[in-house]
A and B are shown apart, each in its own frame.
Chain A
Amino acid sequence: MTVSTADDPIKLAEFEARLERGETIEPKDWMPEKYRKQLIRMMSQHAHSEIVGMLPEGNWITRAPSLRRKMVLLAKVQDEGGHGLYIYCGTETLGIDREELVEQLLTGKAKYSSIFNYPTLTWADIGVIGWLVDGAAIVNQTMLAKTSYGPYARAMIRICKEENFHKRQGYEICTVMAKGTPAQRAMVQDAVNRWWWPSLMMFGPSDGTSPNSAELLRWRVKRETNDALRQRFVNLTIPQAQAIGLTVPDPDLRYNAETENWEFGAIDWAEFQAVISGNGPCNRERMAARRKAHDDGAWVREAAEAHAAKQAARSREHAA
């Protein structure tokens, strides 16, 4: 890339007209540099979140309470790894290598979702993550399935199909615990109390203060505002909590019959800022675990390359 001159105004107008007509932008199409940059930032953050998101749940695979729960959790965590790969490959269509993206994650240059910097203290956390965290992700990803960039939209459609199982298994764990012994009930309620507010923060800053929102909406990368998505999530989730006798830790929560919205209290944005800037409860632990996994996998990558080189040499010998 050369000097960052302004985009050609005629091409920009054509591009915006295409978006206006609801057309999808494909990798080889002309696009403003800013659109490309915003997408690389957003998609790679999303891919990193899927990968780092494997850690809090992976923490419970060996301690799942039954073989059924262990199989389910393994499958879910494997799905999240797959989600990361779908989105990395989508991001590569914008002209950046996965290697560079991975390096940005490992060096701490790139961000990932704040939610994965919270600890999974009990088995109930696994239920609540599936229910609330995957639940919130589904609301966001359903919107992104209609994003203007084709490869991102297609990755989201694939992901949305898989997320429904994630949410269902989580809600099932919560349902069983909520109907269990007083200790189990208390454990799942405690997990909801800890994960509720961080789940609401997953949708990002409020529209007024979100630095990227306006441009992303104009270019139809995002189709709805953070606040609208957050409200949809709350409206979906409160009846689910009520159905199994759980509450959310918000004294200001009330139903507005006129707007048909569950109105909720103020979000602690100072906490959100602290967590995304590296000072959440588990940021250091997560990054250390990612780096260790990357380093520990080095011999596998080397072995795969050596094997491929040997195979290639052997088939050349055959041909000669």
Chain B
Amino acid sequence: MSSETQWPLWEVFTQEGDAAPHEHAGSVHAVDAEHAMQNARDVYARRGKVVSLWVVPTASITASSPGDAGPLFDPGSDKAYRHPQFYKSPRGVKIF
């Protein structure tokens, strides 16, 4: 009974159109990668412009946790010199 409908979980990523990034669409249950690919197509690519699919075993994903968000991402916001607005250029000069 344990495997009745509870096959391993896979995360699905779809690329919607040429040159677009693969984006997380949702998940499917499947016995193996091939099966996951078929289910992902049926569930997440029934219409629209999906040109590519990735399926990844959910168990293989390492995710940051909300508690780490401070130490992980804080350094990103206190370094103003990483943004173009930090720099002054002479009035009237066209930089870009």
Contact = CB atoms under 8 A, between A and B. Distances in A.
Interface string A119-157: 000000000000000000000000000000000001100
Contact of B28 (A89, A99, A154, A155): A89
Contacts of A92: 9, 27
B5 A78 contact: no
A15 to B, nearest CB: 11
Interface string A161-172: 010000000000
B94 interface: no
B5 A155 contact: no
B42 interface: yes
A304 B26 contact: no
Contact of A308 (B5, B9, B32, B63): B32
Q: Which of B4, B25, B63, B66 has the most CB of A within 10 A?
A: B4
A183 B80 CA distance: 73
A85 B46 contact: no
Interface string B7-46: 1010000000000000001111101101100000011001
A99 B43 contact: no
Nearest to B38: A304
A82 B43 contact: yes
B89 interface: no
Interface residues of B, number: 22
Contacts, number: 53
Nearest to B63: A28
Contact of B46 (A28, A79, A99): A79
A312 B29 CA distance: 17
A99 B6 contact: yes
A82 B65 CA distance: 29
Contact of B31 (A98, A102, A162, A304): A304
A250 interface: no
Given A28-B65, A304-B35, A99 B27 contact: no
Given A28-B66, A30-B66, A92-B27, A301 B32 contact: no
A308 B66 contact: no
A247 interface: no
Interface residues of A, number: 28
A99 B5 CA distance: 5
A89 B46 contact: no
Nearest to B35: A304
A145 to B, nearest CB: 15
B63 A305 contact: no
Q: Which of B3, B26, B66 has the most CB of A within 10 A?
A: B26
A308 B35 contact: yes
Given A89-B26, A89-B28, A304-B31, A99 B4 contact: yes
A254 interface: no
A285 interface: no
B1 to A, nearest CB: 8
Interface in A245-298: none
Contacts of A75: 46
A26 B42 CA distance: 26
Interface string A223-252: 000000000000000000000000000000
Contacts of A28: 63, 65-66
Contacts of A162: 47
Interface in B59-96: 63, 65-66
Given A30-B66, A98-B6, A301-B4, A82 B29 contact: no
A41 interface: no
A33 interface: no
Interface of A: 26, 28-30, 75, 78-79, 82, 85-86, 89-90, 92, 97-99, 102, 154-155, 158, 162, 301, 304-305, 307-308, 311-312
Interface of B: 3-7, 9, 25-29, 31-32, 34-35, 42-43, 46-47, 63, 65-66
